[in-house]
Amino acid sequence: MISRTVLLLRIAFRNLMVSPINLLIGALILFGTLVFVLLGGLLDSLSRSMERSVVGSLAGHIQIYSAASKDDLALYGQFGNDSDLKAITEFPKIQEAISKIDGVQMVVPMGVSGALITSGNIIDLTLERLRDLVRARAGQGGREELTSLSKEELDAQIHAEILHLRQIIKVLRGDADRAMADMLSARAVDPHNLEALHRVEKDEFWDGFEADPLGTLEFLENRIAPIVTDTTLIFLRYVGTDLDKFQHSFDRMKVMKGQAVPAGQRGMLISDLIHEEQMKLKTARRLDKIKDALANGRVIATDDELKRFVKENRSQTRDIVLQLDALKTAEMVKALQDALGSKETELDHLLSALLDTTDENFQKRYDLFYALVTPRVRLYRVNVGDVLTIKAFTRSGYVRNVNVKVYGTFAFSGLEKSMLAGSTSLMDLMSFRDLYGYLTADKAEELKEIQKDTGAKTVSRENAEAELFGEGAEVVAEATPGIIDPDTAITSTGRRLREDDLIKRVYSQKELDDGVMLNAAVMLKDARQIDRVIKEIQRVSDEQNLGLKAVSWQKASGLLGQIINVFRVLLFVAVAIIFFIAMIIINNAMMMATIQRTQVIGTMRAIGAQRGLILAMVLIESVVLGVLFGGIGMLTGSGVLGAMAMKGIAAPNDVMYFFFSGPRLIPTVTTGPLVIALVIILFVTVASTFIPAWMATRISPLRAMQADE
């Protein structure tokens, strides 16, 4: 048997290069195998990288949510209350059951939602600071850092803020005068704005500030602040979660600025990418982008986008000028004159000169900007330590406000520049539940106090009509003249919680777990056990009536998770087309070869060769041809992947940054594409050769002799 096989192999190798058609067949097989191994290896590497991104940034290995939900969970592109996910209300029971499954490391509660936050313009921010100072001086509370200041210190800060306001008004007045001088722009100037600016720039207006500071601030807020149109609406996508569990489970998470939210407290960590992209001074952000672009080999002189950034920086200096009071303006003018060697006295002209960057002077101007300008202005609209008022629609459709302290910013290691991974901020569970419209322990406690103070009683839904309108029902209301003081009203309850108290309150783990959530991430000890653990979760859910649905990270990420499958299907279609063409060519070639070898095959039959030997000979010839050229294609594809791995493939944009799980994709050669390629080659060669081989077995010795004649 062995000698027969060796004989057939020797015949196959001898006949391999006899016909030029074999070279064409081999080249086609080589090309198809090379494409499959190369692209298959890239897709496998891309799939593993994307898994690291999705699992490590938000989804975990498995996501669980209520099976009663009308919508499927899609973590990317879905905002919780925009979808119809039913809340999970028995999380402690669910957590205990799932944690007992072999291979489960952690269960992290979650809920995805979004809200708009308003970042006021420079006048809004200045008026807010001034109002806080006035209230602190009057002993009406306010921010903790202000209440500790003496009256003299508060007076000094109030005076400084008034000077700043007057400087802003001076700039606005100059803008209006220049607009009026231009016939085209003059029509756009509102005469009411001119009248208001004329009034507030006079000393008489400010002489009356101390008599009615809050009234003065209200006028400025209503008449002057709207003139500055740089108010920004920022969409904030966030995940409500147990922040301590999240940080311990998602090990790629790192705090970039500030600190982590203290365990058990309310608070927020803003995505560092959102903080930089949407909350940073636009001029500074553009300079950062130019710097990154230059580091990647781009050139200002030939790059249209970088030219646009420079032009916008030169023309849009107003955001900086408006932040400076008279003293800081004078200081910056002097500093820029010295740095630029200029005698220009107008700050906006000096800033424009500073920001006139080229490839040659960029680094020097960049350093000057951060050394001279940024220390004197508010670099970010939202800073670490600020308390954000977040407004969101609840699941019932009404607007809810929650004050949340920003403790810091965060990013995921390797995904710092990915918008897909870096577009989501983190919020504590209690604040998330308040915004989503669920009754938290704080609200329940507050309602009890209100009920106690007012003498209200709880009435069931079915008895509400009888209680309110039935026989003997009596509703009494007592009216008290005067204006209700909200501070006094709150104090009268004795225990009603204030926002400051909520920010400082520390919640127990039981309080965090007992409330509702929309979904939860399940982290595994071994990622290869995903399919088994999903089946176990479904089994436990059915047995204990937990009403859960468990899905893998790929399905939980929605359309984003299916992109790799789409690419894989496209690859198989392309390879199928290549090998289908190869099958036709191989079949035709072998048919021709069989006809040409009629005499040889007939002679072999005449001297005793059995049909099985003829069949095996033809098939082995095709298999040797396919394996030889297919093997060359495999080695070539593996070599190309290895060469790519030495430097990696740079991510061209932030989307691919997410797919690559970092700035570069490092391709690796895996056995999967090689094994599949070998199976395809064997199938194609055998299937395309079988009919010609069968025809060869039908050739009789008589035909061979007739051919001799």
Q: Where are the domains of the chain?
A: 2-53+560-708, 121-230
What mean pLDDT do residues 160-170 have? 83
Structure token pair of residue 37: 């191994």
HEC letters along 156-201? HHHHHHHHHHHHHHHHHHHHHHHHHHCHHHHCCCCHHHHHHHHHHC
The structure's pTM equals 0.74
pLDDT at 355: 96
Q: Which of 242-246, 457-461, 571-575, 662-666 has the lowest mean pLDDT?
A: 457-461
Q: Which of 77-86, 184-193, 297-306, 508-517 has the lowest mean pLDDT?
A: 77-86
Q: Which of 29-38, 269-278, 371-380 has the lowest mean pLDDT?
A: 29-38
Pairing of strands 62-66, 548-552: antiparallel
pLDDT at 486: 39
Nearest to residue 95, comparing CAs of 110, 84, 83? 110
Please report which confidence band the pLDDT of residue 483 belongs to, taking 50, 70 and 90 as the band edges: very low
pLDDT at residue 519 is higher than 80: yes
pLDDT at residue 238 is higher than 50: yes
Neighbours of 191 (CB within 10 A): 7
Q: Which of 393-397, 465-469, 495-499 has the lowest mean pLDDT?
A: 495-499
pLDDT at residue 708 is higher than 70: no
The model's pLDDT over 618-663, given as tens digits with 9 standing for 90+, comes to: 777 777 777 888 888 889 988 988 888 888 888 887 778 888 888 8
What mean pLDDT do residues 506-516 have? 86
Please report which confidence band the pLDDT of residue 16 belongs to, taking 50, 70 and 90 as the band edges: low
Instruction: Calculate the CA 284 to chain-centre distance.
Output: 22
Please report which confidence band the pLDDT of residue 232 belongs to, taking 50, 70 and 90 as the band edges: low
DSSP three-state, residue 208:
coil
Dist CA 459 CA 445 (whole Å): 18
Dist CA 633 CA 630 (whole Å): 5
Report percent pLDDT > 70 for the chain.
75
Please report which confidence band the pLDDT of residue 476 belongs to, taking 50, 70 and 90 as the band edges: very low
What mean pLDDT do residues 9-18 have? 60
Report percent pLDDT > 90 for the chain.
26
Phi first, then psi: what are they for 21, rounded to 5°? Answer: -65, -30
Q: Up-side HSE of residue 609: CA atoms within 13 Å toward CB? A: 23
The model's pLDDT over 126-144, given as tens digits with 9 standing for 90+, comes to: 888 888 888 888 877 666 6
Instruction: Tell me if 343 sits within 8 A of 333, measured CB to CB.
Output: no
More confident residue, 541 or 2: 541
The model's pLDDT over 267-285, given as tens digits with 9 standing for 90+, comes to: 999 999 999 998 899 999 9
Mean pLDDT of the chain: 79
pLDDT at residue 397 is higher than 70: no
What mean pLDDT do residues 116-123 have? 72
